[in-house]
Amino acid sequence: MKFYIILSAFILFITSCSKQGENTEVASYENATTEAMAIDIPEPNSPEKIENSTNQQQERMLIKTGDIRIETDNIKESSTFLKNLLTQYRGYINSEERTTNYNDLESSFSFRIPSQNFDAFVNNIDNHFEKVENKTITTSDVTDEFIDLKARLKTKKQVEERYIALLSKAKNIKEILEIEREIGDLRGEIESAEGRMKYLQNQVSFSTLNITLVKYTTENTKPQNRFIKAFLNGWEGFVSFMIGLVYLWPFLLIIPFIYFFIKWLRRKKIKK
């Protein structure tokens, strides 16, 4: 009897320990699951996210150009002012030209100015000169083109490296020539892309400003006065043409006489 009582107590003890172990395992599993869910797992970047990230890292590349036409009473002094201002803003003269148009004196400059100084340079011109006839400033964003060129250039260089590696494994002259032809084509495309990228970088770094200084010799040579003068000259030309026809009236009388005389001679020949 005592044996059965002891055996029953032992079974109850084993069962309770087993349940506690299961509860402990369940609790451990739940804790581990909770901890795992609490960890932020980064999502893989989609193409849109990668592209946006690239664009954010790439600073905007802007090309600024401008055209300004200024009326001045003294071209020499104005030219000296512009050149000194250009030196102050660390620019340089790309080209310079002097012409005479309708007896007016014109001096044209093409300035290259560091892009960070472009706006300040233009503001100085506006403040110094009173008679600015025309002013045009344009801005072009070439960021996307530059990023595209950069990506294409990287890909082409990788392909070129693969072709170079294949060149050492070529088995005959035909394969060597084919690989070298592909390498040559790739090299031309790479150099073209590199040249375009350098050009864009130069245009972004230095803005271009074209300035024309003009000195009108008389009031009649100003644009608005030249139009009126051209209209009057056209009318005077028409009047002169009519007067010329009047001077030719004797010849106008002779022409009908000659016509009828020739006609009379033809009739006389026919009768004979």
The DSSP result for 1-17, as a single string, is: -HHHHHHHHHHHHHHHH
Q: Are 139 and 63 in contact (CB under 8 A)?
A: yes
Per-residue pLDDT of the chain (272 residues; tens, 9 = 90+): 444 444 444 444 444 444 444 444 434 334 433 333 332 323 333 333 434 444 455 689 999 999 999 999 999 999 999 999 999 999 999 999 999 877 789 999 999 999 999 999 999 999 999 999 999 999 999 999 999 999 999 999 999 999 999 988 888 999 999 999 999 999 999 999 999 999 999 999 999 999 999 998 865 555 555 566 566 667 777 777 777 767 766 766 777 777 777 877 777 777 66
The contacts of residue 120 (CB under 8 Å, 6+ apart) are 89
Query: What does the pLDDT read at residue 58?
Result: 64
- Counting every residue written for the chain, the total comes to 272
- H-run or E-run covering 65: strand 62-71
**Given this model, what pLDDT does residue 30 score?**
40
Return the pLDDT at 23: 45
Distance CA(250)–CA(253), nearest Å, equals: 5
pTM of the model: 0.58
Rg of the Cα atoms in the chain? 45
Tell me, what's the pLDDT at 118?
96
pLDDT of residue 21: 44
Residue with tokens 């150009």: 65
Tell me the C-alpha distance between 86 and 64, whole Å: 16
pLDDT at residue 126, as a whole number: 93
pLDDT for the residue 228: 62
Q: Which residues pair with 105 in a beta bridge?
A: 100, 215
